[in-house]
Chains A and B, each alone.
Chain A
Amino acid sequence: MPSNKLFQFKAKVIANKRVGKNYFHCIFSAHSLRQAVRPGQFVEIKVSAGPEPLLRRPFSIHRMKGANVEILYELVGKGTELLSQKGAGEYLDVIGPLGNGFTLPLTPYPLSLLVAGGMGVAPLVYLAEILKRSKILVLIGAQSKSGIICEKEFKDLGCSVKIATDDGSCGFRGKVTELLSNILVTMDCRPATIYACGPRPMLKAVAEIAQKENIPAQISLEEHMACGIGACLGCAVNTRAGYKRVCKDGPVFGAEEIIW
């Protein structure tokens, strides 16, 4: 595990734009994070100056470009609503880089499989960028077409992309994990690792499929966080080795570690 130094800094917003019905893409400057970030790590942002909302909000690092960090987020409540109102030139109070991040191969894999549910694409784009020298297949799932994002970003990085929607409005009709099962059956080259991020039921299904197919899988979990730095023990997830902290021991875990 890398023991990253943590920074708290004022980050200048460079852009913060709507990129889909409910999605926003924010770029801010973060000189302190320049070299320190691994895919799968996250930042915690205080979106207001006062006590409302009180806590920082965790967001995955979506991309790094020089000293600029990009996040991709969905409007779900008051924190993300306030964040979406920040304009270029305003400042955010940011802590990072947090968490362990994905374990990367020492030599490029012949094939990596990335599975994203909805907003779960956020950390996987940066991962794909870092994994670039290996062949990458990305599966993205959402309820319907409007929930699918980042298809172009992955394609621009040279990845193959397959889509699954619950309502069939785009790509395979059904769950992205059903698509995953189907693909694994028909594939001649088996992926060396599955990397997944998305809602918990999806991750659970990925874990089961990976185990059945005997493919190692790394999954990125979400849990409500008070501190994000390992101090409050609030973000517990039950693992075979007892409770672990999603913010510090994760957010990325081996799929086999988790007790669902």
Chain B
Amino acid sequence: MANLNISIGKLKLKNPVMVASGTFGYAEEFSDFIDLKKLGAIVTKTITLRPRQGNAAPRTCETPAGLLNSIGLENPGVDKFIKDKLPVLKEYHVPIIVSIASERDPEEFVELTHRLDRIKEVAAIELNISCPNIREKKGKRLISQDALATHGLVKAVRKITNKTLITKLTPNVTDITEIALAAESAGSDGLALINTLAGMIIDIEKRRPKIAMASGGLSGPAIRPVAVRMVWEVHQKVKIPLIGMGGVSDTRSALEFFLAGATAVAVGTANFINPKTSVEIIAGIGKYLCKTNLKDIKALQNSLKING
């Protein structure tokens, strides 16, 4: 058996396959389909300080090999999350990475981190500074579209917690390596990339956008080549581990991310289509390493052959 262990900061995972924020509910929704214990880690739906209702319906629309969504970070708020969701999550005995976002930066990120820092079951914190669907911020720049703002925010949070910090980046930028470097130098232990690509789809009969918020975030196989390219670019610039995501749907697509330089992958939209995707990939990676006589998943990371 090849070694699938990886680490991100202080966080040690038994395998490098997690489930992406917002695509796995609070895990209980998947307990009939898979043995949750097998997952490398579970990333929760993004939590905010106060409960959020989410955006108006319709919130999703299928696109060619993709999905456009504008959920709007519907969540029960951090207090309810800690009281109702976390006790259930911890029973799965899988590292829980809590994704957080704020409506008022950076104060709320700091406040949320304060609350979570004290909780043993929170294995790591993921800073979602890349959600395109917060109405209050529509039209404004996201933190992860600004290197200085990214640096400032990560630094403010870093100051108050020793937990593993993962910063989640948006692909909606000119140069993602700039933002990645800013997060790294501010003390982020790892980077999650990519969040959804901003997109829009129009109903030509009704002459209306097909989702209520007009534009939303694109995910699924359609964005995979963009995601792989971004992981590859960032891998060449930063030293901290990367969690690659964007259209990971099977073993082959997961392996692309490892070859591009990712330390781990996260399964997102594919959970909706085949709820067993994540565990199938864990088994599939094991088989692939065995077949190619590799003893460790980490051996893939720098094995990409580029001509020239």
Contact = CB atoms under 8 A, between A and B. Distances in A.
B67 A242 contact: no
B276 interface: yes
B65 A52 contact: yes
B62 interface: yes
B57 A95 contact: no
A248 B59 CA distance: 16
Interface string B19-53: 00011110001101100000000000100000001
A234 B275 contact: no
B16 to A, nearest CB: 22
A224 B58 CA distance: 7
A177 to B, nearest CB: 23
Given A54-B66, A55-B273, A227-B272, A233 B59 contact: yes
Interface of A is mostly: loop
Contacts of B58: 223-224
A224 B70 CA distance: 13
A54 B220 CA distance: 8
26 contacts: A7-B32, A46-B274, A51-B220, A53-B62, A54-B62, A54-B63, A54-B66, A54-B67, A54-B273, A223-B57, A224-B58, A224-B61, A226-B60, A226-B62, A226-B67, A229-B25, A231-B25, A232-B69, A233-B22, A235-B60, A236-B56, A238-B56, A238-B57, A243-B53, A243-B54, A243-B74
Interface in A53-105: 53-56, 93, 95
Nearest to A229: B29
Given A51-B220, A229-B29, A236 B272 contact: no
B64 interface: yes
Nearest to B211: A224
Contacts of A46: 273-274
B71 interface: yes
A146 interface: no
Interface in A204-260: 223-238, 242-243, 248
Contacts, number: 101
Interface of B: 22-25, 29-30, 32-33, 45, 53-67, 69, 71, 74, 220-221, 249, 269, 271-276
Closest 3 CB pairs of A and B: A231-B25, A234-B60, A227-B272
Contact of A233 (B62, B63, B64, B74): B74
A7 B33 CA distance: 7
A6 B54 CA distance: 26
A152 interface: no
B62 A227 contact: no
Interface residues of A, number: 32
Contacts of A228: 272
Given A51-B65, A223-B58, A224-B60, A229 B275 contact: yes
Contacts of B23: 231-232
Contacts of A55: 62, 67, 272-273
Given A230-B29, A234-B60, A238-B57, A8 B275 contact: yes
A205 to B, nearest CB: 20
Given A6-B32, A236-B74, A242 B53 contact: yes
Contacts of A53: 62
Given A8-B33, A226-B69, A52 B57 contact: no
A230 B272 CA distance: 10
A235 B61 CA distance: 10
Contacts of A6: 32-33
Given A8-B33, A55-B273, A232-B60, 6 more contacts: A8-B275, A54-B67, A55-B67, A56-B272, A224-B58, A226-B67
Contacts of B276: 8
Nearest to B19: A231
A21 interface: no
Interface string A10-53: 00000000000000000000000000000000000010000111
A52 B64 contact: yes
B119 to A, nearest CB: 23
